[in-house]
Amino acid sequence: MPKATVKVPTPLRPFAGGASEIALEGSTVGGLIRSLAESNPSLQRHLFTPDGRLRNFVTIYLNDQDVRYLERESTPLKDGDVVSIVPAVAGGAPSPLGRTVRESHAGKDEAHPRSSDRFSTEELRRYSRHLLLPEVGVAGQRKLRRAKVLLIGAGGLGAPASLYLAAAGVGELGLVDFDAVDLSNLQRQVLYTTQDVGRPKLVAAKERIEALNPGTRVVTHEQRLSSENALEILKPYDIVVDGTDNFPTRYLVNDAAVLLHKPSVYGSVYRFEGQVSVFDARHGPCYRCLYPEPPPPDLVPSCAEAGVLGVLPGLIGLLQATETVKLILGQGEPLIGRLLLFDALGLTFRELKVRKNPHCVLCSPHATQKGLIDYPAFCGVPAPGAATADDHVPHVEPEALRDELASAEPPFLVDVREPGEWTIAHLPGAHLIPKRELPDRVDELTRASKLVLYCRSGVRSAEAARFLLDLGFANVRSLHGGLNAWSQRVDPSVPQY
């Protein structure tokens, strides 16, 4: 029987004994993947639906070919083949913050260098290294100055991309974000400094970009992108750079770009891995061709839960900026129909082909979706401002838990975070059972008369509490606000992260 290698992506490695690749025997791709799941039972629910079908948000490649366009799971194998599992990755978590809508079109009515085809002496010096390139030259620099690029998200990906696009001489940069700078952002979001902590990101970003290149006009959209405003916001721009950090917004950006006939430069990061592509339905596939549906909310942890190597968003963001400049100049081969995978630990790049799905609901000739939809509902997450999992399970406030822990009958305290988070800080007397291990360790909790679960912010513990309640456990609560709320309201010596 042929022997092939299965490449296991970072999000699934905890369920495969930490292995990045596994050698298995199998005659077909489907048989190989099922053998993988049988030898690693925790992978089963991540790869297959309860009725045994391969999940739609998991794409399987044989070498560099999407098996959906070969013989699907029946695709035969030969010795030495490489089978890659490529799940959808959001790259982060939606921010809980919201702000009043504010748009800045500073300089809109003022004379601006973009209005002239001539370059000043200062501009010729600034862009001299571009002008020396035959592929750019004066004509290409004019294209850059006339270009309008919209960056969705001014975080890990948007920060480096915006700096290099401004430095390259892009005439107008639109920024969509509604967050404030947090100290934890500075590990990777190089657009900001320590002095910016607490400030609206777009205020700080506009100052930094304009200081780098006064010739770039920065248009800020300080609001949450939604089905109600996306088409209006995207419409004036030539190219969209997708630096989103959650699946509802990622599908929204893709769909709006397709409906407006605009290219979307895609990037995502997770721990030590990143993905880059260009989706342009006029010339190739869209994001839905690669991932027809999103993963269930609890299957893909966010960067806030799983972490991310600080330099990784910089590298992926710069690749997005590179693709954007190439599209503007009309030079080179854009990543249309190609998915670039980067592994920082192995320092390797791999390229996979992405085909246009002839049955895509959005971009195929037989498309059934003609407009924007309810994306939180599509992705199975609460809409902004709606009730969350934490609102639907019993919870305990930090002060009340402090008193209960000091009582004669304290609750059984369970930390559902990852081992690395446990080493940062944990509550005395807690028992570490990571949320992903909970289904296999339920027996450890059956004798507890009272259970309190906690995590960093209260989201994972609420989901874990709901899981236990559905199994029939009684008297299960989640620590409201998690360990960070405990630090703020009970014990400041416990570090927040």
What residues contact residue 62 under an 8 Å CB cut-off, 6+ apart?
Answer: 29, 70, 75, 77, 81, 82, 83
Query: Are 140 and 70 found together in one domain?
Result: no
pLDDT at 116: 59
Across the strands, what pairs with 338? 353
Q: Last residue of a domain, which of 379, 400, 435?
A: 379
Range of the domain at 132: 102-379
Amino acid at 163: L
Virtual torsion, Cα 248, 249, 253, 254, nearest 10 deg? -30
Closest CA to 404 of 452, 337, 437: 452
For residue 152, the surrounding DSSP H or E stretch is strand 148-152
Query: Are 215 and 273 found together in one domain?
Result: yes
The single residue listed with the structure tokens 């699946």 is 247
Query: Are 313 and 434 found together in one domain?
Result: no
pLDDT at 484: 95
Query: Are 328 and 271 found together in one domain?
Result: yes
Q: Which two tokens stand for residue 297?
A: 């909310």
pLDDT at 389: 52
195 belongs to a structural domain = yes
How are the residues of the chain apportioned to helix, strand and coil, as percentages rounded to the nearest 5? Answer: 35, 20, 45
93 belongs to a structural domain = no
pLDDT at 100: 36
Query: Are 337 and 477 found together in one domain?
Result: no
Query: Are 187 and 275 found together in one domain?
Result: yes
CATH number, residue 416? 3.40.250.10
Q: State the Cα–Cα distance between residues 146 and 156, nearest whole angstrom.
A: 26
pLDDT at 307: 85
Q: What is the 3-state secondary structure (H, E, C) of 221-273?
A: EECCCCCCCHHHHHCCCCEEEECCCCHHHHHHHHHHHHHCCCCEEEEEEEECE
> Edge-to-edge strands of the sheet including 348-353?
102-104, 217-222, 172-176, 148-152, 239-242, 264-270, 273-279, 338-343, 348-353
Look at the chain and report how many structural domains it folds into.
3
pLDDT at 305: 72
Q: Are 66 and 59 in contact (CB under 8 A)?
A: yes
Query: Are 148 and 296 found together in one domain?
Result: yes
94 belongs to a structural domain = no
Query: Are 360 and 425 found together in one domain?
Result: no
CA atoms within 13 A on the CB side of 194: 0
Angle between helices 482-489 and 398-405 (to 10 degrees): 80
Collapsing DSSP to helix, strand or coil, 156 comes out as coil
271 belongs to a structural domain = yes
Q: Are 462 and 451 in contact (CB under 8 A)?
A: no
pLDDT at 219: 98
Please give the chain's pLDDT, 497 residues, in tens.
Answer: 999 999 999 889 989 998 999 999 999 999 999 999 999 998 998 899 988 999 988 999 999 999 999 999 999 999 999 999 998 877 644 443 333 334 443 333 333 444 457 999 999 999 999 999 999 999 999 999 999 999 999 999 999 999 999 999 999 999 999 999 999 999 999 999 999 999 999 999 999 999 999 999 999 999 999 999 999 999 999 999 999 989 999 999 999 999 999 999 999 999 999 999 999 999 999 999 999 999 887 676 666 777 899 999 999 999 999 999 999 999 999 999 999 999 999 999 999 999 999 999 999 999 999 999 999 999 988 877 665 555 679 999 999 999 999 999 999 999 999 999 999 999 999 999 999 999 999 999 999 999 999 999 999 999 999 999 999 999 999 999 999 999 999 999 999 99
Choose, from 289, 303, 360, 363, the residue flagged as catalytic.
Answer: 303
384 belongs to a structural domain = no
> Edge-to-edge strands of the sheet including 3-7?
21-25, 3-7, 82-87, 58-62, 65-66
Query: Are 113 and 175 found together in one domain?
Result: yes
Q: Last residue of a domain, which of 59, 87, 115?
A: 87
Q: State the Cα–Cα distance between residues 349 and 357, nearest whole angstrom.
A: 25
Query: Are 135 and 191 found together in one domain?
Result: yes
CATH number, residue 370? 3.40.50.720
340 belongs to a structural domain = yes
Cα(first)–Cα(last) distance of the chain, in Å?
A: 49
Closest CA to 241 of 337, 330, 155: 155
496 belongs to a structural domain = no
CATH number, residue 8? 3.10.20.30
Amino acid at 60: I
Asked about 379 being catalytic, the answer comes back as: no
Q: Which two tokens stand for residue 141?
A: 């620099």
60 belongs to a structural domain = yes
What residues contact residue 243 under an 8 Å CB cut-off, 6+ apart?
Answer: 151, 152, 153, 154, 155, 156, 157, 158, 161, 267, 317, 320
Q: Last residue of a domain, which of 64, 87, 110?
A: 87
Query: Are 60 and 112 found together in one domain?
Result: no
pLDDT at 112: 43
Query: Are 368 and 455 found together in one domain?
Result: no
Amino acid at 138: V
Q: Are 318 and 324 in contact (CB under 8 A)?
A: no
